[in-house]
Amino acid sequence: MTDTTGAVYDLGYEPYEGERRGRSGARRTIIADGIRRVLGLRRKARRKVLPWGLVIIAVIPAVVAVGLAFFIPGGTTDNLDIASEYGSFYVLGGTIVLLFSALAAPELLIPDRRDGVLSMLSSRPLTSNDYVASRFASVVIVVAAFLLFPQLVLYIGEAGTYADGIFAGFVDAAHKIPKSIAVGAVYTIALVPLAFFVAGLSKRKAIASSVYIASMLALSIIAEALVKEADFAGNQWFALIAPFDTANSVNLWIFDAPDPESLLTVGDIHPLVGLASLIVIASVCVYIVLRRYRKLL
Amino acid sequence: MTPVLALFGATLRSALPLKRTVLLSLLALTPAVLFVLSAENRTGEAAFVTLIESSTGTYFALILPIIAIVLGAGALGNERRDQTLSFIALRPMPRWVIALTKIAAAATAATAINLVGVLALWITYSLLHTFDITILVGFVVGTIVAVLAYVSILVPLGFITDRAVIIGLAFLLVFEDGIVIALSGLASLSPWRLGAAATAGVITEAQHIYDDIVGSLSMSVGSSVFTALIYVAAGTALTTLLLKRRDLA
Amino acid sequence: MTNDPAFVSEPTIVVENTSKWFGQKVAVSNLSCSFGAGVTGLLGPNGAGKTTLLRMIAGLTDVSNGSVKVLGKDPRADYKVYRDVSLVPDEDAVYEDMTGRRFVAYAARLAGYRDNDRVDAAIEKVAMQDAAGREVGGYSKGMRQRIKVAAALVTEPSVLILDEPLNGTDPIQRAHLIGLFEQLGRDGTTVIVSSHVLEEVERVSSRVIAIVDGRLAAAGSVDRIRAAMNDIPYVVRIETDRPRVLGARLFATDRVFSVEAGPGSLVVRTGDVSGLGNQAPKLAVECDASLTSFQPEDESLESVFRYLVEGR
C-alpha cells in the first residue's frame, strides 16, 4: 500500500524580518571586506606579513626621524629639519604605495572573477560601478593611512620641536595639512588606478602584481633614458609616461622643494601639466575597468 | 642522463611558450631601441659611454632582472601551482639533481631571452658606430653571471611562495635600486651588479664607467663567475632541502 | 600480527604506528597496517585520512610519528624506491600543453626509460590510443584519469597507488580500469585503490582497509568485516504471503531482535543469519505461509561502510 499524501513539516525556518540595508549597505560590506582582504585581517598570519610589513616600512622612518629630532640636544639640525622632510618622506611613502597597490588590486579583483563570486554579487543590490568603486575605496582608505600617518607624525614632530611651543607649532605648520592631503591624492591617482587596470585584465594575482611593478619600473627607466639621454624633437614629453616619477615631481613641487634632476624639471614641463597627465591616465584606466565589469556583473 | 635531459627540456619548454617568448623578446629589445634614440647624435667615445650607461640602466638594472625573476620563480613555482610537483618528485632522481636541473633550465631560458636583447644592442652599436666583438662577449658573460645569481635565488623562492615574482621585483626596486646605492658594500648581494662587474672585467675600457655602478665588487670575470657559482651552490642546496623536507602536495 | 587482517604475510608496504597532524588537526592517528601483492581497497568518508595515508606511503608527506616503509625503504629518504612505486594522485597533476603520448613518454624518460614501445603499451592498457596525440588540456576528466594511470604504469611499478582513480570516468571506462587493476593484482603488483565508488571497490578488491577519523576502523574481506560486527544485528528481508503470521512466529524465537511487517514482506533483525535461514522455512510451513525470498540486506560494502561511519 503506497502513501500518496504529502506533508510539509515546520522545521523552525522563518523569513528574515530584520533591517535591509540596501545598496549603501552592500557597498559598505564590499568596502569592509576589501579592507580586511588587503590587510590580511581575519586571515592566516602569513597573509598579514607583506601588507603590515609595508605599513611598518612606511611609518617607521618618520617615527625615527621625529624621535631623533626630539632627543638630539640643541633642537633641530639641518640634517633633521622635519619641516623640509615632508616631501622626501612622501617619496618613500609613494614607493610603498606602489608595492601595496601591486598586492592589493589583484587581491581584490581577481579572486572574485576566478571563483565565480561575481555572479552571486550580481544578485545583490549592487551595480558594477558600485562594486568597482567599493573595491577602489578599500584600497584608497588603506593607502590614505599609509601616506597620511607618517605625515601626521612629521607634523606633530615639527610642532613638538617648535621653539615657541607645540600649540604655536600646530598653527604655524598648519599649512602643511592641505599640502599633505593634496600630495596623498596625487600618489593615489598616479598609482592605484593603474594597478586596478592591470588587475582588471589579468587572470592571475602573481602575474598582475609583477606586470604592474615591472611596468612602473620600466616606464621610469625608459622615461629617464629618453628624457635625459636622447636628443630628438619632443623627447622631453616622454617624462609623462612615468607616473611614479611624475607623482614624485608634483609632490616635491607642492612642498616647495623641487628636484632639479626630476624628469619634469629636466624636460621643462610644469608640474601641473604632469598632474593633468596623471588624471588623464587614471581616468582612462578607471573607464576601462568600469567597462570590463559592466560586462561581467 | 635521460631523466636530467627530460626534466631540463620539459622545464625549458614550459618556461618559454610561444606567446611568452615573443613578449619577453620584445621586452628584451627595449635597451637597443633606447640606445638608438639616446645615441643619435653621438660618435666615438661619447657613443661608447652612452652604450655602457644606457645598457646599465635599462638592460642590467631592469630588463635582465625582470626576465630572470619571472622565469626563475616559475621553474618550481609553476609546478607547485599546477600541482605537477608530485609528478617530478616521485621519480628515481636525487633531489639535488632535480634542484640543479631546474636552476640550469631556468637560467638557460632567461639567458636565451636576454641574449636576444644583447645581440640587438651589439648589432645596433656595430652598425651605427664601431664593430667590437669584446662588447658582445662582455655582455654575454655579464648576462650569464647575473642570470645565474637571480635564478638561484628565485627558484627556491618560487617553491616556497606564490608571491616570488613580486618579492623579487620588490628586492630589485627597494634593495638593489635603493639600499645598495646608499650602501655600496652590499653590492655583492646585487645580482645585476655582479653581472655588470663581469662585463667590466671583459670590456676593460669601460671600467671607469662601471666603477661607480658596481660598488665594492671587483671588476673581474673570475671573481664574478666564482660568486655566481656560490649563488648556484647555495640555491641548489636550499632547493634540495626544501624538496626533501617540505610536503610535496 | 599474523592473524590480524590489517597485516599481510608478505608485505611490500608497512605502516607502523603512524600519525600525521597538521597543526591542531590530526589527519591520521596511530595507524598500523600493511599491504602486499593484490588489490587492496582503501575506504573512508571524506576527511578520514585516506589521501594523507597515501601521500605518506608515496613519500610526498612526512610522517609526524611512526614509520612507513615501502619495499623496505623510507620513501622520504630514499629516492630509489621510486623505480618501483607509482602514484596516481587525486588532483589533476597533468601538463596541459603536452600531448597524452608526450606526457606518458615524459614519465618514462624521468625514470630513465627511452623506448617508445613501453610508452605505447602503457597507453594501450588504458585504451587511450586514439586520443594520445591530443593535448591533455583538451581531455575530459575521465581521459585525464586514464592518461595519469598510463603515466604511472609506463615504469611497470611493483607498487601502484591510486587515489580516487575512478572519478570522472564513465561506466565503460570504469569497467576497463577495474579490469586493469584486477589484472595487475593477479600479476603480483601491490595495488592500493582509494575510492568512494563502493560497489566497484567491492568488485576489484579482495581486501579492504577502512579508515574513519584517521584511525583504522576495519580490515579484511567485506564479509569477514561484517561478521566481526557482533553488536550490529543483520537485516534480512523475507518475502511471504502472510507476513504478520510468519512475523509473529519468528518474533517468538530467541534469535530475532525485531520484526517489521510490511505488505508482502518482513524486515527481520537477527544476530544469526544462517540459523534464521534454517528456521524460517520450517516456521513458514507450520503457519501455512509461502516463503518466496530470504535476502540479507547489509552484507554489502555500503552497509558495512555506513555502520563503520555512523556507528562511531
What band does C16 get if pLDDT is binned at 50, 70 and 90? very high
**What are the chain B neighbours of A229 within 8 Å (beta carbons)?**
34, 37-39, 50, 53-54
Rounded mean pLDDT, C162-190: 90
Q: Which residues contact A130 (CB under 8 A, 6 or more apart)?
A: A23, A26, A27, A30
Domain that holds residue A93: 23-294
DSSP chain A: -----------S-----S---HHHHHHHHHHHHHHHHHHTTTS-THHHHHHHHHHHHHHHHHHHHHHHHHHSTTS--GGG-GGGTHHHHHHHHHHHHHHHHHHHHHHHHHHHHHTTHHHHHTTSS--HHHHHHHHHHHHHHHHHHHHHHHHHHHHHHHHHT-TT-HHHHHHHTTTHHHHHHHHHHHHHHHHHHHHHHHHHH-S-HHHHHHHHHHHHHHHHHHHHIIIII--STTGGGGGGG-HHHHHHHHHHHHTT---TTSHHHHTT--HHHHHHHHHHHHHHHHHHHHHHHHHH-
The pLDDT score that the predictor gives to residue A155 is: 84
Helix (H, G, I), strand (E, B) or coil at C7: coil
Residues of chain C in Cβ contact (below 8 Å) with chain B: 55, 58-62, 76, 79-83, 85-87, 89, 91-97, 106-107, 109-114, 151
The pLDDT score that the predictor gives to residue A218 is: 87
The pLDDT score that the predictor gives to residue A79 is: 46
Which of C255, C257, C238, C258 is CA-nearest to residue C246? C238
Greater confidence, C226 or B91? Answer: B91
CA pair distance C167, C157, nearest whole angstrom: 22
Rounded mean pLDDT, C204-208: 85
Of A117-131, C68-82, C201-215, C294-308, which gets the smallest average pLDDT?
Answer: C294-308
In Å, how far is B100's CA from the nearest CA of chain C?
15
A229 and B50: CB-CB below 8 Å?
Answer: yes
In Å, how far is A131's CA from the nearest CA of chain B?
26
Task: Decide if B141 touches A, using CB distance below 8 A.
Answer: no
Cα A63 to chain centroid, rounded: 21
CA pair distance B35, B50, nearest whole angstrom: 7
Start-to-end CA distance of chain C, whole Å, equals 25
Grid coordinates of C49: 585520512
The pLDDT score that the predictor gives to residue C283 is: 92
What ipTM was assigned to the predicted interfaces of this complex?
Answer: 0.89
Subunits adjacent to chain B (3 or more Cβ pairs under 8 Å): A, C
Strand partners, C208: C41, C220
C106 and B95: CB-CB below 8 Å?
Answer: no
Burial code (b: 16+ CB inside 10 Å, e: under 16) for A215-228 equals ebbbbbbbbbbbbb
In Å, how far is B244's CA from the nearest CA of chain C?
7
Query: Distance of CA A229 to CAs A55, A180, A226, A238, C20, Å?
Result: 36, 33, 6, 12, 62
Query: Distance of CA A177 to CAs A90, A149, A157, A185, A257, Å?
Result: 13, 12, 13, 12, 16
Task: Decide if B70 touches A, using CB distance below 8 A.
Answer: yes
Chain segment B160-193, per-residue pLDDT in tens: 988 898 889 889 988 898 888 888 888 889 999 9
Domain count, chain A: 1
In Å, how far is B56's CA from the nearest CA of chain C?
37
A232 and B37: CB-CB below 8 Å?
Answer: yes
Rounded mean pLDDT, C277-304: 83
Helix (H, G, I), strand (E, B) or coil at B176: helix
**What are the chain B neighbours of C114 within 8 Å (beta carbons)?**
2
Residue A76: pLDDT over 70: no
Rounded mean pLDDT, A46-69: 82
Q: Which of C110, C114, C154, C158 to mutate to test the interface with B (most CBs of B within 10 A)?
A: C110
**What are the chain B neighbours of A50 within 8 Å (beta carbons)?**
163
The pLDDT score that the predictor gives to residue A287 is: 94
Q: Is the dihedral of CA B38, B41, B47, B49 positive or negative?
A: negative
In Å, how far is C103's CA from the nearest CA of chain B?
10
Which residues does chain B have with pLDDT short of 50?
none
Task: Decide if A166 touches B, using CB distance below 8 A.
Answer: no
C114 and B248: CB-CB below 8 Å?
Answer: no
Q: Is residue A11 a part of any domain in this protein?
A: no
Task: Decide if A225 touches B, using CB distance below 8 A.
Answer: yes
In Å, how far is B158's CA from the nearest CA of chain C?
18
Per DSSP bridges, beta strands C38-43 and C65-70 are unpaired
Task: Decide if B50 touches A, using CB distance below 8 A.
Answer: yes
A95 and B173: CB-CB below 8 Å?
Answer: yes
Q: Is residue A187 a part of any domain in this protein?
A: yes
CA pair distance A183, A161, nearest whole angstrom: 24
Of A54-68, B99-113, C136-150, which gets the smallest average pLDDT?
Answer: A54-68
Rounded mean pLDDT, A216-228: 88
Q: Is residue A131 a part of any domain in this protein?
A: yes
Task: Decide if B170 touches A, using CB distance below 8 A.
Answer: yes
**What are the chain C neighbours of B90 within 8 Å (beta carbons)?**
58-60, 82, 85-87
**What are the chain B neighbours of C152 within 8 Å (beta carbons)?**
none
Grid coordinates of A42: 581575519
C110 and B6: CB-CB below 8 Å?
Answer: yes
Chain segment A140-152, per-residue pLDDT in tens: 998 888 788 888 8
Of A10-14, C64-68, C282-286, which gets the smallest average pLDDT?
Answer: A10-14
Please give the backbone phi and psi of residue C129, each rounded to the nearest 5 degrees, phi first. Answer: -60, -40
Crossing angle of helices B64-81 and B18-28, rounded to 10°: 160
What band does A77 get if pLDDT is binned at 50, 70 and 90? very low
Greater confidence, C18 or A121? Answer: C18
The H or E element spanning position B104 is helix B95-128
Residue A1: pLDDT over 50: no
Q: Is residue A46 a part of any domain in this protein?
A: yes
Task: Decide if B78 touches A, using CB distance below 8 A.
Answer: no
Q: Which residues contact B86 (CB under 8 A, 6 or more apart)?
A: B248, B249, C58, C60, C87, C89, C93
User: Within 13 Å and on the Cβ side, how many CA atoms surround B73?
Assistant: 20
Residue A73: pLDDT over 60: no
Alpha-helical (H) ranges within C126-272 are: 141-153, 171-186, 198-204, 222-228, 243-251
**What are the chain C neighbours of B6 within 8 Å (beta carbons)?**
106, 109-110
Task: Decide if B165 touches A, using CB distance below 8 A.
Answer: yes
CA pair distance B243, C79, nearest whole angstrom: 11
Task: Decide if A226 touches B, using CB distance below 8 A.
Answer: yes
Rounded mean pLDDT, A164-181: 83
A99 and B173: CB-CB below 8 Å?
Answer: yes
Q: Is residue A108 a part of any domain in this protein?
A: yes
Count the neighbouring beta carbons within 10 Å of the beta carbon of residue C296: 18
Chain segment C228-248, per-residue pLDDT in tens: 666 667 889 999 999 999 999
The pLDDT score that the predictor gives to residue C299 is: 60
Q: Do B28 and A215 meet the contact criterion of CB atoms below 8 Å apart?
A: no
Residue A219: pLDDT over 50: yes
Residue B54, class by beta-carbon neighbours within 10 Å (0-12 exposed, 13-18 middle, 19+ buried)? buried
Residue A202: pLDDT over 60: yes
The pLDDT score that the predictor gives to residue C266 is: 92
Task: Decide if A60 touches B, using CB distance below 8 A.
Answer: no
Chain segment A93-122, per-residue pLDDT in tens: 888 889 889 989 999 999 999 888 888 888
Task: Decide if B36 touches A, using CB distance below 8 A.
Answer: no
**What are the chain B neighbours of A103 within 8 Å (beta carbons)?**
163, 166
Residue A159, class by beta-carbon neighbours within 10 Å (0-12 exposed, 13-18 middle, 19+ buried)? buried
Greater confidence, C66 or A64? Answer: C66
What is the rounded average pLDDT for all residues in chain B?
92
Q: By CA distance, what is B83's nearest residue in C?
A: C93
Q: Is residue A1 a part of any domain in this protein?
A: no
C110 and B3: CB-CB below 8 Å?
Answer: yes
Q: Is residue A9 a part of any domain in this protein?
A: no
For the full predicted model, state whether its pTM sits above 0.90: no
Q: Is residue A18 a part of any domain in this protein?
A: no
A222 and B54: CB-CB below 8 Å?
Answer: no
User: Within 13 Å and on the Cβ side, how many CA atoms surround A46?
Assistant: 4
Q: What percent of chain B has a predicted confidence (pLDDT) above 90?
A: 64
